A and B are shown apart, each in its own frame.
Chain A
Amino acid sequence: MKRAFPWHIAVFLAPAFLIYTAFSALPLLDTLRLGFFTTHDSGQQTFVGLANYIKLLTDPDWSAAFWNAMSNNFKFFLIVMFVQNPIALLLAALLSMHGVRGAKAYQTLIFLPTLLSVVIIGFIWQLILSPLWGVSEKLLGFVGLADYFHPWLGDEATALITLSLISVWQFVGVPMMLLYASLIAIPDEIIDAARIEGASSWHIFWTIRLPLILPTLGLVTILTFVGNFNAFDLVYAVKGAIAGPNYSTDLLGTFFYRTFFGYQSQIGSPTMGAAVATTMFLIILSGVGVYFYFIQRKLQRFSF
C-alpha cells in the first residue's frame, strides 16, 4: 500500500524552515565563506584563502587591535562571571530559604533592569557617573568617601571595569532567577535528612545544595560567555564605535562593527568583517562545545 505524500507536515514546517534558513543559517554559512575572500575597490570579490586571517593575526595594525579587543573581551567576561554570578548565587540562596517574606516582590524588582535596553541603561549610568551631575560624588559623600570619586568611565584604566560592572548591575537578575529555580527544585527530603543528621545550614549549602545546582551554574556560565562575546550595545551607547578612551573598552563586537562599516578614515570591508565574525563564531562555538561536553558528564554523574 502506497501512502500519500504527507503534505500537512510540509505545510507546518515550511514557513519556519524557510525563514530560518534564509535569514539565519545561510547568512551564517555565507559569512564563513566570505571570510576567505577579499573585496577589491571595484566591489569584486576574489578568493584569497586564509589571507584575511593571517592579516588579522599578524599584520601589526590589525593584530594589535584584534588582540586588544580579544583581551578586553576576556576581561569583561571574567569580571562579569566572578562578580555577577556570586552575587546572583547569594541572592538566589537567600530567596530560596524557607519563609522569606516578600521573596516574589524582591525577585520581580531585582529582575526589572534586565528588561530595559542596554542602550538606555548605558546612558543612565553615564549620567549617574558623570562628574558634571555629581550624583555619585554626593552619594559617596554620605558614607564619607567623596574623595574617592573619579570619572571612572573616562579613564583608560577603569573604563572597561566600570562598563562590566554596569553590565553586572543590569543582568544579575537572569542568573539569580535560574539559580533560584534550581535551588527550590531540590527535594525537601534531602535537606531534612541532612538537618536531622545535625548539619548546619551553611554546611548543607556547600555540600548538598551547591553540588546539586552545578548544572545550572554551568548553564549560567555558558549564557554569560555567549552573551559577552557577542556584546556590542553597551560600549556603542556609552563610548561610540571608537570604544574610547584609546580603545580601552573595545570588544570583539565593536571591533567587528568598525571592521565591517569602517569609521573615520578607515574604509569598511565586508570580507574582513566576515573574517572577524568567523573568529567570533569559532570562539563562541568552542565555548558551547566545552559546555556540552562538560555538562553532559555532570548530568550523568548526578542522575544516580
Chain B
Amino acid sequence: MKHKVTRAAGTGFTHLVLGGYTLLALFPILLVIINSVKSKDGIFDSPLSLPTMETWSLIGFEKVLAKSPFIHFFSNSLTVTLVSLVLILVLGAMAAWALSEYKFRGSKLLAIYMAFGIMVPIRLGTVSILELIVKLDLTNTLTALILVYVAQGLPLAIMILGEFIQQVPKELKEAARCDGVGEFKIFFQIILPLIRPAVATVAVFTMVPIWNDLWFPLILAPGEETQTVTLGVQQFIGQYVTDWNAVLASLSLAVLPVLVMYVFASRQLIRGITAGAVK
C-alpha cells in the first residue's frame, strides 16, 4: 500500500517536472506567435491572453510582407539549403562509400583528414574563405554560401553514412560483382537505395544549421539580393525595433516554416541524434 503511494507520487513528480519544463520551452515561442496577430493595444494591454475579436489584427504581417522582401529571403534560404543538402548527401555518400569499401594506400589517412572537420568549426577559416570568395568573384552570390556549407557539412555526413554503408551485407556487393555490374551501378542502384533511412537522417540535421546560419550570410552575401531569412530578420528587426507589430510578425514568419518542418521530420531527427550517440 505504502509502495503504491510513493509510486504514484513519483509519477506525479515526473510529470510535474517534465510538463513544467515543456511549458517553459514552448511559452516564449507561443507568446510571440499569439501576439503577432494582435493589434498594438492588444500586445501591450493583454500580452498573455489569446487574441479576441477586439484585439485581432494582421497589421504586422501586412507591414512586413509589404515593406520587406521577406518572400525573397525565403526563396534565398530555400535555394541555399536545398542545393547544399543535395550536394552534401550525394558527394558525402560517394566519398563515404569509397572510403569504407575500397582499401587503398592512404585511405585511413584520408578518412582522418575528412573527419577533422567535424570538430573544428569552419568559421575559424573565415578570413581566408572571404579572400578566396573575393578572388573567385563570388561575393554576394548564393554559390559562395553553398560551397562553404557543403565543405562544412561533408565531414559529418561522410562519417555517419560510412557507418551505415559498412553494415550493408558483403554478399550483396559480391553477387553484383560476379554478375559483372560496374562499381558506379553498384553504388547508385544498390547501395544508395539501401542507405536511404540514413540519408534522410543526415539530411534533417544537416539542414538545420544551414538554414539558421547568420555568420556566412553576414560576411559572404550581405547584399539585399542574396540575404537569407536569418540575416534578413536580423537586419529588419534592427531597423524596426519600435514597431512591435512588425517585429512580432517577422519573428513568427521566421519561426513558422521551421515548426512545419519539425512536425514532419521530428521522428527522423530525434532518431538520428540518438542513433549517432549510442555506439
Contact = CB atoms under 8 A, between A and B. Distances in A.
Asked if A pairs with B, the answer is yes
Interface of A: 6, 8-9, 11-13, 15-17, 19-20, 22-28, 30-31, 34, 87, 90-91, 94-95, 97, 100-102, 106-113, 115-121, 123-125, 127-128, 133-135, 138-139, 169, 172-174, 177-178, 180-182, 185, 216, 219, 222, 226, 230, 232-233, 236-237, 240, 253, 260-261, 270, 273-274, 277-278, 280-281, 284-285, 288
B230 A119 contact: yes
Contact of B94 (A16, A23, A30, A226): A16
Best-buried of A106, A115, A270 by chain B (most CB within 10 Å): A115
B56 interface: no
Best-buried of A15, A138, A180 by chain B (most CB within 10 Å): A15
Contacts of A185: 278
A277 B126 contact: yes
Contacts of A278: 124
25 contacts: A15-B94, A16-B94, A27-B132, A28-B122, A30-B127, A30-B128, A90-B17, A91-B21, A102-B15, A107-B270, A109-B22, A116-B29, A117-B254, A119-B212, A120-B255, A124-B31, A124-B251, A125-B28, A127-B248, A138-B48, A178-B273, A181-B274, A270-B127, A280-B124, A284-B124
Contacts of A102: 15, 18
B126 A174 contact: no
Contacts of B99: 13
A277 B125 contact: yes
Interface of B: 11, 14-15, 17-19, 21-22, 24-26, 28-29, 31-32, 43-44, 47-48, 87, 91-92, 94-95, 97-99, 102, 104, 110, 113-114, 116-117, 119-132, 147-148, 150-152, 154-155, 158, 182-184, 187, 208, 211-212, 214-215, 219, 229-230, 233-234, 237-238, 244, 247-248, 251, 254-255, 258-259, 261-262, 266, 269-270, 273-275, 277-278
Contact of B128 (A26, A127, A232): A26
A261 B130 CA distance: 11
A169 B67 CA distance: 32
B222 to A, nearest CB: 11
Contacts of A22: 132, 147, 151
A230 B123 contact: yes
Contacts of B19: 106
Given A8-B183, A22-B132, A116-B258, A135 B22 contact: no
B122 to A, nearest CB: 5
Contact of A178 (B31, B92, B158, B277): B277
B275 to A, nearest CB: 8
A260 B98 contact: no
B122 A24 contact: yes
10 closest A-B pairs by CB: A27-B125, A181-B274, A23-B151, A12-B98, A16-B95, A27-B128, A30-B128, A117-B212, A24-B151, A28-B125
Contact of A127 (B32, B114, B208): B32
Given A12-B94, A123-B237, A34 B128 contact: yes
Contacts of A94: 14, 17-18
B274 A177 contact: yes
Contact of B233 (A28, A120, A285): A120
Contacts of A127: 32, 247-248
Contact of B25 (A95, A110, A181): A110
Contacts of B274: 177-178, 180-181
A112 B132 contact: no
B25 A15 contact: no
A116 B102 contact: no
Given A15-B91, A16-B114, A274-B127, A181 B277 contact: yes
A237 B214 contact: yes
A281 B273 contact: no
Given A119-B234, A124-B251, A284-B120, A106 B18 contact: yes
Given A13-B94, A20-B154, A116 B255 contact: yes
Contacts of B248: 127
Contact of B150 (A23, A135, A182): A23
A119 B214 contact: yes
Given A106-B19, A116-B212, A118-B212, 12 more contacts: A27-B128, A28-B128, A31-B125, A101-B15, A110-B25, A111-B269, A113-B29, A119-B234, A120-B254, A232-B215, A253-B123, A278-B124
A31 B102 CA distance: 33
Nearest to A289: B119
Nearest to B212: A117
B277 A23 contact: no
A280 B123 CA distance: 10
Contacts of B92: 16
Given A124-B32, A236-B214, A277 B127 contact: yes
A177 B104 contact: no
A42 to B, nearest CB: 16
A174 to B, nearest CB: 7
